[in-house]
Amino acid sequence: MRHPFLGKSFIFYSTAWAVIMTVHVVVLVFQLGFTYPLAIRHSLIFNLPIMGFGLSYWYIVRYISNDKQSITATIFNQGSAILIGVAVLSFFSDAILSRFIIANTGQQEIFNMALSWHVFLGSFFMTMIVLIYYLLQYTTSLKEKEKDELQLQNLLKNAELEMLKSQINPHFIFNSLNSVSALTLTNSERAHEMVIKLSDFLRMSLGRSNQELHTVEEELRQMNLYLDIERIRFGDRLSLSQDINEICMKHKLPVMILQPLYENAIKYGVYGQLDKVEISTKCHCDDGILFLSITNNYDSTSAPQKGKGIGLKNIRNRLELIYGPSDLVTIEKNKNIFTIHLQIPQITAP
């Protein structure tokens, strides 16, 4: 931390001392009968050394103060240093006043009582200055701690986001490899096609591993690769439709936020029935919010698929970490239709 009274702050410091010196002159003139020239010289000789001492004392507070000292020890040490320093300066100031000024004015009696007042006033001024130094130092230290804490929170947040993303990729790869394995037994050409598309998908995913947000257009391009992989496996049983407002294509959303939703729709739709399953994606934007909905039909009478619930929980956690609110994911069930709604804020996203 630089000296708080240097630069522009020196103007305020000097102004405060100018006011003190002016009051000093007024008291000497109107209360003790000094002439203006004598009062001005007296004020300058006494106050200027204290002013300089106050500036230099910052380095004692900043570099010599021991943070491990108790408050009592700090007060005693600083009080002693202030008293000794002011006493020495007052002695030399009064010596100059006595020898070169007061001795020629016939006011030696007043001067003899002045030393104790000089020490008292100088100690008072220095105490105020030192208290300001400690206050500024404490405020700066508090801001630095808050900054460090904020950086630590951001690091923890990023680490948690990376952990959540790392949960998606192995889960998806495991399911995709199972799909490839199944196809190799029934249709080697389609298995080969699926491996190529899986390679393209993973290449795109890994290329964005350090990126948290991208556009709707990029997300859909990546998700279409994923859905192409699933369509190779399920063929005509899987139907896809999209209703995307073109205005929303440049809006931002978290990377691969839709993949667990499509995976969830396939798991509970295609796996749960023999009929054709349609997965519908709708997207529109309004008032700084991107609205996404993914809908699929399912057989409500079939036995529910078992799972750990990683996908939806992962999405909720990611959106809450990035945007703040915890209600950005909602689920709607209507007879045989299952819909997941996402709200992606566009203003508060980092």
- Name the amino acid, one letter, at 66: N
Alpha helices (H) along 2-113: 9-32, 36-59, 71-96, 108-112
Residue 141 sits in the same domain as residue 210: no
Q: Residue 306 above 80 pLDDT?
A: no
* Digit-coded pLDDT (tens) for 219-258: 998 888 888 888 887 778 888 999 999 999 999 998 888 8
How far apart, in whole angstroms, are the C-alpha atoms of residue 94 and residue 89? 8
Residue 139 sits in the same domain as residue 204: no
* Digit-coded pLDDT (tens) for 282-302: 999 988 899 999 999 887 776
Residue 35 sits in the same domain as residue 142: yes
In a domain, 96, yes or no: yes
- The per-residue pLDDT for 350 is 44
Across the chain, mean pLDDT equals: 80
Residue 131 sits in the same domain as residue 250: no
- Is 334 in a helix, a strand, or coil? strand
Residue 207 sits in the same domain as residue 125: no
Residue 98 sits in the same domain as residue 195: no
Nearest-5° angle of CA 96, CA 98, CA 100?
A: 60
Nearest to 111 by CA among 126, 82, 88, 90: 90
**Residue 346: other Cβ atoms inside 10 A:** 15
Nearest to 313 by CA among 329, 334, 324: 329
How far apart, in whole angstroms, are the C-alpha atoms of residue 203 and residue 275? 33
Residue 74 — very low, low, confident or very high, per pLDDT cuts 50/70/90?
Answer: confident
- Name the amino acid, one letter, at 213: L
In a domain, 178, yes or no: no
In our burial notation (b when 16+ CB lie closer than 10 A, e otherwise), range 254-274 reads bbbbbbbbbbbbbbbbbebbe
**Residue 294: other Cβ atoms inside 10 A:** 20
Residue 122 sits in the same domain as residue 201: no
In a domain, 155, yes or no: no
- 328: domain CATH number is 3.30.565.10
Residue 81 — very low, low, confident or very high, per pLDDT cuts 50/70/90?
Answer: confident
In a domain, 160, yes or no: no
Residue 98 sits in the same domain as residue 210: no
Give percent above pLDDT 70 in the chain.
Answer: 80
- The per-residue pLDDT for 349 is 45
Domain of residue 13: give its range: 9-148
Alpha helices (H) along 237-309: 259-269
Residue 208 sits in the same domain as residue 314: yes
The domain boundary, picked from 101, 130, 148, lies at 148
58 or 271, which is more confident? 58
Nearest to 275 by CA among 336, 206, 350: 336
Residues in the chain: 350
In a domain, 175, yes or no: no
The domain boundary, picked from 101, 117, 148, lies at 148
Residue 198 sits in the same domain as residue 332: yes
In a domain, 192, yes or no: yes
Residue 102 sits in the same domain as residue 197: no
Residue 224 sits in the same domain as residue 124: no
| Domains held by the chain: number | 2
* Digit-coded pLDDT (tens) for 173-230: 777 788 788 778 877 888 888 888 888 877 776 655 556 788 999 999 888 888 888 8
Q: Residue 104 above 70 pLDDT?
A: no
DSSP state letters, 92-125: HHHHHIIIIIGGGTT-HHHHHTHHHHHHHHHHHH
- The per-residue pLDDT for 46 is 86
In a domain, 313, yes or no: yes
19 or 179, which is more confident? 19
Alpha helices (H) along the chain: 9-32, 36-59, 71-96, 108-112, 114-186, 188-207, 216-234, 259-269, 310-323
102 or 321, which is more confident? 321
**Residue 56: other Cβ atoms inside 10 A:** 10
In a domain, 180, yes or no: no
pTM: 0.54
- The per-residue pLDDT for 17 is 92
- The per-residue pLDDT for 118 is 80
- Is 51 in a helix, a strand, or coil? helix
